[in-house]
Structure 1
Amino acid sequence: MARTFVTAEEVAKRAGVSRSAVSRTFTPGASVSKAVRRKVLKAAGELGYRVNRLAQVLNNDRSNLIGVVGANLSSPFISKQLDLLSIGLLRQGKQCLLLNAADARQDIAPLIELLFEFRAQAIVVLSGEPPGSIVDECIANGVRLILINQRLDRTDTNMVLSDDSHGADLAALRLIKANCRKVAVVTSGSQTPAQLRRANAFTQRMQAEGVEVVAWSGGPTSYESGLQAGRELLADKAIDGAFCVTDLLALGFLDAARLEMNRRVPQDISILGFDDIPQAGWKSYELTTVAQSFESLTEKVLSALDSDDLETRLQVVPVTLVERQTAR
């Protein structure tokens, strides 16, 4: 028969105190004498007792769980974001409950409803847009909802957005500086709001400067989609610049240009990405890209967890151009 966890009753028996004294010892702020606390902690250490956090949740209206919902968790951008966010939550004494939305397609409502059952303190949505009814339910239940790179037309939801339009403008100006005359803008078939903002802002700037723009869209947001875009677009020898709306797309596009389409980078074509994922700085790529600070993004999400200040309802992550080796 499998050994069960040590119970509070067992600790109380060994310490010679009541069950409620054990509970008060492990409840922050509860009243318990120093003598009783010493007895309880000594007994707990000898028995290997650990507090049952699930039981604590049952006795309270809210847990210290922060629900995190997202798809494409293996992508470098999401995985880096998760790494920093989970560490930040632990430092604040909170726990991260991660739900993979890969099988949820466009409707992440069931996953958010599941988090209600765990009495989550807040929900961070990395990707996907929750329906209005779910947002209303979050507000009604006092569950803070934080959306990353998703923008809703309402003031009761926290949103953290990268400065996509400014970043795309920086990319456009850099390709203009490289004297590009015919450029490609590459998005995935997912057509997320962030990708559309970047593509539209880039196209508007280029057209205003009299530069021809060719748009390509297809597949998931992946290295393979960027590779396919490069194969198809670079059959046109006139294309001398490309802006891929994520670094992952850009790395695939870059390899297609150099390894399959016999195009020299940056001599024949200048290629820019967006995000500044760790792989963008690898020696085999040295991708020139628009960087949004992962640290700043994480800081803004964490600040939104506890603040009721209206100024934190919409926070913008600043972006900068990172010069490397893929633009003339």
Structure 2
Amino acid sequence: MAKSFVTSVEVAQRAGVSRSAVSRTFTEGASVSPEVRRKVLKAAQELGYRVNRLAQGLNNASSNLVGVVGANLSLPFIAKQLDMLSLGLLRRGQQCLLLNAADARSDIAPLIELIFEFRARAIVVLSGEPPASIVDECLANGVKLIVINRLLERSDTDVILSDDILGATLAARRLTDARCRKVAVVTSGSGTPTQIRRAEAFGRIMKDDGIDVVGWHDGPTTYETGLKAARELLADPAIDGAFCVTDLMALGFLDAARHEMGRSVPDDLSVIGFDDIPQASWKSYELTTIAQSFEVLTEAVLAALDHADGQSVIQNVPVTLVERQTVRR
């Protein structure tokens, strides 16, 4: 039989004090005499006692847990966000309660119940496609909400946005400099606000410059969607440039262009992505892309946790063009 955790009652018995004295000893700011503290800490060390932080949180109005809600958690951009955010929370003495919203469109009740049962002090909704109903439920129940790359028409929500318009502008200018004459803009069929902003801004700028633009959107935001886009679009030999609104689709687009469609990149086809995921710099791709700083994004989320309730902030994460090997010089 597995040994059970040491309880505060056992510590109190070993130290010869009350259970409430043990609780006060391990509660920051609580009043306890030096002698009692010494006895409790000595007994706790001897028994191997550890504080039940989860139980502490459930006894308070909120815990040190921060709920993180996301769909498509395997996508490289989402995974990188989660990696850095969970580490940032840990360094602040807070814990990440990860909630996978992949199946939440049919029934979000289990997710909502978890959020409130664990007394999460805040909810962070990652980039992607989390259900709008999760957002509504959190706001209705007074849980602080921080949303990444989803612009809400609410005054009580912190919103952190990549500068999609500037990023699309940088991509358009770079393909213009490469003397592209007919370009494709590739989006998935998910219709996320981020993808729409990027595609629309890019299309406007290219058309203003007199460059033909072919729009393409279908499927999920995946590598395979990029493959499909290249197979269909590059049947037109006049297309000599492409802006894929995420790097993951751009990588699929590059592989199909090079290995199936016989295109030489960047000699007769220039390709730009967006996000600068780790795979974009791999030697087999060397993708030119629009980078948004994961560090700045993470710091913006952590700073939003400290804002007073009802005090909302909209913050843009700056972007830059990262020049690699997929656009003609």
What is the distance in 2 between the residues matched to 1:21 and 1:72? Answer: 46
**After alignment, is 271-280 or 40-49 more displaced?**
40-49
Q: Which residue of 2 aligns with 1:266?
A: 266
Instruction: State whether structure 2 residue 165 is matched by structure 1 residue 165.
Output: yes
Q: Which residue of 1 aligns with 2:111?
A: 111
Q: Kindly state the Cα deviation for residue 135 of structure 1 after the two structures are TM-superposed.
A: 4.7
Q: Kindly state the Cα deviation for residue 36 of structure 1 after the two structures are TM-superposed.
A: 1.6
Q: Which residue of 1 aligns with 2:80?
A: 80
Task: Please give the per-residue CA displacement for 1:297-320, whole angstroms capped at 9, x wherever unaligned.
Answer: 001011001113988511110100
What is the distance in 2 between the residues matched to 1:181 and 1:140? Answer: 50
Q: Kindly state the Cα deviation for residue 61 of structure 1 after the two structures are TM-superposed.
A: 1.0
Q: Which residue of 1 aligns with 2:188?
A: 188
Within 5 A, what are the aligned runs for 1:87-126?
87-105=87-105, 111-126=111-126
Q: Kindly state the Cα deviation for residue 53 of structure 1 after the two structures are TM-superposed.
A: 1.8
Q: Kindly state the Cα deviation for residue 165 of structure 1 after the two structures are TM-superposed.
A: 0.9
- Identity over aligned pairs, percent: 74
| Superposition TM-score, scaled by structure 2 size | 0.95
Q: Kindly state the Cα deviation for residue 219 of structure 1 after the two structures are TM-superposed.
A: 1.3
Instruction: State whether structure 2 residue 276 is matched by structure 1 residue 276.
Output: yes
What is the distance in 2 between the residues matched to 1:83 and 1:281? Answer: 18
Within 5 A, what are the aligned runs for 1:1-328?
1-105=1-105, 111-126=111-126, 127-128=128-129, 130-131=131-132, 135=135, 137-139=137-139, 141-308=141-308, 313-328=313-328
Give yes or no for contact 1:187–1:216 (8 Å, CA) kept in 2: yes
Give yes or no for contact 2:70–2:130 (8 Å, CA) kept in 1: no
**CA, structure 1 residues 107+217, in 2 after alignment: closer, same or farther (shift >3 Å)?**
farther
Give yes or no for contact 2:146–2:159 (8 Å, CA) kept in 1: yes
Q: Kindly state the Cα deviation for residue 112 of structure 1 after the two structures are TM-superposed.
A: 3.5
| Superposition TM-score, scaled by structure 1 size | 0.95
What is the distance in 2 between the residues matched to 1:198 and 1:150? Answer: 13
Structure 2, unmatched stretches of 5+, are none
Q: Secondary structure at the match of 1:103?
A: coil
Aligned pairs, how many? 327
What is the distance in 2 between the residues matched to 1:325 and 1:105? Answer: 40
Q: Kindly state the Cα deviation for residue 82 of structure 1 after the two structures are TM-superposed.
A: 0.4
Q: Kindly state the Cα deviation for residue 129 of structure 1 after the two structures are TM-superposed.
A: 5.1
- Amino acid in the other structure paired with 2:31: S
What is the distance in 2 between the residues matched to 1:311 and 1:174? Answer: 39
Give yes or no for contact 1:107–1:130 (8 Å, CA) kept in 2: no
What is the distance in 2 between the residues matched to 1:130 and 1:248? Answer: 22
Task: Please give the per-residue CA displacement for 1:176-210, whole angstroms capped at 9, x wherever unaligned.
Answer: 00000000000011111100000000000011111
Give yes or no for contact 2:183–2:242 (8 Å, CA) kept in 1: yes
**CA, structure 1 residues 310+13, in 2 after alignment: closer, same or farther (shift >3 Å)?**
closer
What is the distance in 1 between the residues matched to 2:14 and 2:179? Answer: 79
What is the distance in 1 between the residues matched to 2:309 and 2:316? Answer: 15
**CA, structure 1 residues 309+321, in 2 after alignment: closer, same or farther (shift >3 Å)?**
farther
**CA, structure 1 residues 95+49, in 2 after alignment: closer, same or farther (shift >3 Å)?**
same
- Amino acid in the other structure paired with 1:186: V
Q: Kindly state the Cα deviation for residue 17 of structure 1 after the two structures are TM-superposed.
A: 1.4
**After alignment, is 11-20 or 302-311 more displaced?**
302-311
- Amino acid in the other structure paired with 1:171: A
Q: Secondary structure at the match of 2:238?
A: coil
Q: Kindly state the Cα deviation for residue 46 of structure 1 after the two structures are TM-superposed.
A: 1.2
Task: Please give the per-residue CA displacement for 1:226-245, whole angstroms capped at 9, x wherever unaligned.
Answer: 01111111111100000000
What is the distance in 2 between the residues matched to 1:130 and 1:259? Answer: 37
Q: Kindly state the Cα deviation for residue 290 of structure 1 after the two structures are TM-superposed.
A: 0.3
What is the distance in 2 between the residues matched to 1:106 and 1:156? Answer: 27
